[in-house]
């Protein structure tokens, strides 16, 4: 269960933080140039932080108490590969779901 004080600290903090990140150049810095090395690192935030979040959930799912689980692993692999090759987010989600449920039924 999520503690409601933590929840609201995160909602409000994340709201203010996200707005500040979106506003920082548009609102405050104007058209002063940004050093190229900063932009270069910012380009990789999404593809760095999200896999770091997901990898442990895929290899050690909370639902199985951290035991490696074949249906979940294959569903994740299929979602990633379909997304990579089709460049289509929706197909990727559908493919992941269609892999997970039959395998959970067969192996679970």
Partner 1 sequence: MKRGYPFFLVVLPFALLFGVVGTEAGLNLFDVLAFSVVVVAGAAQFTAVQLLSENIPTVIALLSSLAVNLRFAMYSASLTPYLGDAPLWKRAAVAYLLIDQAFAVSATEFEKQTEWTTNDRLAFFFGAVLVIVPFWFVGTLVGALVGSAIPPEFALDFALPICVLAMIGPALRTLAHIGAALTASVMSIVLVGMPHSLGILSAGILAMIVGAEIERRMKRGQA
Q: Could you say whether residue 102 binds partner 1 (CB under 8 A)?
A: no
| Positions in 24-43 near partner 1 (CB under 8 A) | 24-27, 29-31, 34, 37, 39-43
φ and ψ at 66, to 5 degrees? 85, 0
Tell me if 103 sits within 8 A of 87, measured CB to CB. no
22 scored as a contact of partner 1 (CB under 8 A):
yes
Q: Select from 96, 67, 103 the least CA-distant residue to 81.
A: 96
Residues 48-87, mask of contacts with partner 1 (x by CB under 8 A): xxxxxxxxxxxxxxxx--------x--xx--xxxxxxxxx
Min separation Cβ 26 and partner 1, Å: 5
Closest CA to 49 of 59, 39, 41, 40: 41
Is there binding between residue 100 and partner 1 (CB under 8 A)?
Answer: yes
């Amino acid at each position: 269960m999520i503690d409601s004080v933590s929840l609201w600290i995160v909602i409000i903090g994340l709201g203010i933080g996200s707005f500040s990140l979106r506003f920082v150049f548009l609102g405050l810095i104007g058209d002063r140039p940004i050093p190229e090395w900063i932009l270069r690192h910012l380009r990789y935030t999404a593809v760095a932080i999200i896999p770091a979040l997901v990898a442990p959930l895929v290899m050690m799912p909370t639902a199985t108490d951290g035991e490696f689980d074949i249906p979940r692993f294959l569903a994740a692999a299929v979602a990633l590969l379909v997304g990579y090759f089709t460049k289509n987010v929706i197909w990727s989600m559908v493919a992941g779901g269609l892999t997970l449920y039959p395998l959970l039924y067969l192996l679970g």
